[in-house]
């Protein structure tokens, strides 16, 4: 018996450069918990110098992959994630965690977000075991050297990565 959704609206923020199957797994799982999930694609990430794909391209990749999830929408944003969440009426920010290094960064971000918006809860989902090693930067590096991207990113993303990063 499937669990009933009753969690209001959540935001799943990230750079998604590119979106991986690990990201899509977290989004899909969040869609089973929350009534509405907004995948929030940061236009220009602070931690990365420049994205490989534009915000519009990243939004399009994700929209193509989540079109079967009726309660998920995708849009880009350029503000603090808590401000975006408030604007959208969300009461939760959902992120995936893979390793201790993710935890350290997310713990710090959680404390800052709670200080700015104590009414918005941060919720962390552990990555599924098959994606616990998966990162966008690792995928880009594999693509640069012609590695097999099957089971890491959706096929259209793999094709665009191969085009963009061929050496």
Catalytic one of 15, 31, 127, 136: 136
Active site residue 135: no
Any catalytic annotation for residue 136?
yes
Catalytic residue (one of 47, 49, 115, 167) = 49
* Rounded Cα distance, 21 and 130, in Å: 10
From 15, 23, 31, 127, active-site residue: 23
Whether 167 is a known active-site residue: answer: no
Q: How far apart are CA 151 and CA 33, in angstroms?
A: 25
Catalytic residue among 5, 63, 86, 98: 98
Q: SS3 string of 94-105?
A: EEEECCHHHHHH
| Beta strand 92-97 pairing with 121-126 | parallel
Q: 95 Cβ partners below 8 Å, 6+ apart? A: 12, 13, 14, 26, 106, 122, 123, 124, 125
Read off φ and ψ for residue 113, nearest 5 degrees.
-60, -40
Taking the C-alpha atoms of residue 114 and residue 63, their distance in angstroms, rounded to an integer, is 29
Any idea which residues carry the catalytic annotation? 23, 49, 98, 136
């Amino acid at each position: 018996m499937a669990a009933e959704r009753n969690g209001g609206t959540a935001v799943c923020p990230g750079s998604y450069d590119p979106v991986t199957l690990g990201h899509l797994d977290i989004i899909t799982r969040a869609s089973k918990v929350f009534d509405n999930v907004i995948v929030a694609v940061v236009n220009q990430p602070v931690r990365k110098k420049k994205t490989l794909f534009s915000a519009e391209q990243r939004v399009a990749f994700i929209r193509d992959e989540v079109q079967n999830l009726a309660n998920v929408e995708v849009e880009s944003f350029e503000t603090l994630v808590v401000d975006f969440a408030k604007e959208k009426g969300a009461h939760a920010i959902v992120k995936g965690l893979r390793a201790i290094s993710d935890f350290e960064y997310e713990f710090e971000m959680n404390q800052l977000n709670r200080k700015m918006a104590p009414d918005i809860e941060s919720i962390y989902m552990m990555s599924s075991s098959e994606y616990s090693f998966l990162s966008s930067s690792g995928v880009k590096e594999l693509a640069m050297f012609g590695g097999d991207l099957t089971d890491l990113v959706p096929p259209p993303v793999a094709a665009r990565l191969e085009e963009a990063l061929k050496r």
